[in-house]
Amino acid sequence: MFFIQLFYYLFYYLRILFPPKYTVMQTEAFPVSVIICARDEEQNLEVNLPSILEQEYPNYEVIVVDDCSEDNSDMTLQRLSKKYPHLKTTRIKKDAKFSHNKKLAVTVGIKAAKYDWLVFTDADCKPESMNWLKSLQKHFIAPTEIVLGYGGYKKEKGFLNHMIRFETMFIAMQYLTFAMAGKPYMGVGRNLAYRKSLFFKNKGFAGHHHIDTGDDDIFINQTAHKKNTRVAIDSKSHTRSKAASSFKAWTNQKRRHLGSFKLYKKSTRFRLSMEVISRELFYLFIALSLLFTPFYYFYIIGAFGLRWIVQLVVLRSASKRMNEKYLFIPALFYDIILPFLHALFYILNLFSGKKHRWK
């Protein structure tokens, strides 16, 4: 278990220290369509949308899909449209006879987009820079079809916020470094870009339209490969949103996301499962070894200490790259408890027929 863990850190995660330096070939900015799906997001649209509409980027449109909102989102969008002519809106009306998930709203937004390059974010997300689009756009070079970005959460007081931010950073470190190693497997809808032509070439969400989740991670898992995927990791390319404020809300969010895992490629499921299982067993065997074989105390502590040192070096670099302060010091504690929480959520999903919708 020690050597498996060391492999993941040295072969994959260590790449966060040395992100790829891409050569920028184009002299003109590609036109971009930013797509946001919103349901009852009046306040978030009011606060966050201007920072997207005021990006320092020469040619782009912002498409907001008002998905069955029952608040005053439509009025907010109408008012903002008068000030920002590049804001386009479309609305899906609520129908008592027809229910749908976020994938319909995403598809409506994509069909309304004028440009080939699509950038996705959420209504509760705010770019950390006025050069967010410019930072993503520098990766839009053939044969690239997908650009994976980082969508973090705002720092607030409390243990739950701290744990959510650490988990988000760790997951991002995973999918970004896996992509750097030529094994891309997911992206997050809070900060993601891909070509419109890629979407229609792969028949959109046809293969998993019946699953409530997966408009971002399952689609990327099915379409991303070594040659068509790049990562955007510099601080100007980040977005930031508000984390779940209660353990129940976070639990529902995690259980919803875990519902996508069964549709990942077998190679992806194996790679991710081995990392989590080896981590859980490593800590378990460390404890058992200290209890039952104290005469190997030196070697046990040595293995534990070496992995911990490597882990802290990697996580310190990740926290700097992703602008996540004060997260690497309690890394060991979160590293121990999170795999067991994920296992619990996965088991709960197996024995529950409840659907966890995006809203």
Q: Are 151 and 241 in contact (CB under 8 A)?
A: yes
pLDDT band of 128, cuts 50, 70, 90 = very high
Burial per residue of 190-201, b for 16 or more beta-carbon CB atoms within 10 angstroms, e otherwise = bbbbbbbebbee
Q: Are 153 and 109 in contact (CB under 8 A)?
A: no
For 167-176, the pLDDT digits (tens) are 999 999 999 9
Give me the residue spans of the domains in the chain: 2-10+267-349, 29-245
The larger pLDDT score, comparing residue 335 to residue 100, is at: 335
| Fold of the 29-245 domain | Spore Coat Polysaccharide Biosynthesis Protein SpsA; Chain A (3.90.550)
The larger pLDDT score, comparing residue 230 to residue 326, is at: 230
Q: Is the pLDDT of residue 132 over 90?
A: yes
pLDDT band of 213, cuts 50, 70, 90 = confident
Instruction: Note the pLDDT of residue 272.
Output: 95
For 69-107, the pLDDT digits (tens) are 999 999 999 999 999 999 999 999 887 677 788 999 999
Q: Does residue 19 have a cis peptide bond before it, meaning omega lies within 30 degrees of 0?
A: no
For 18-46, the pLDDT digits (tens) are 988 766 555 568 899 999 999 999 999 99
Mean pLDDT of the chain: 91
Tell me which amino acid residue 59 is. N
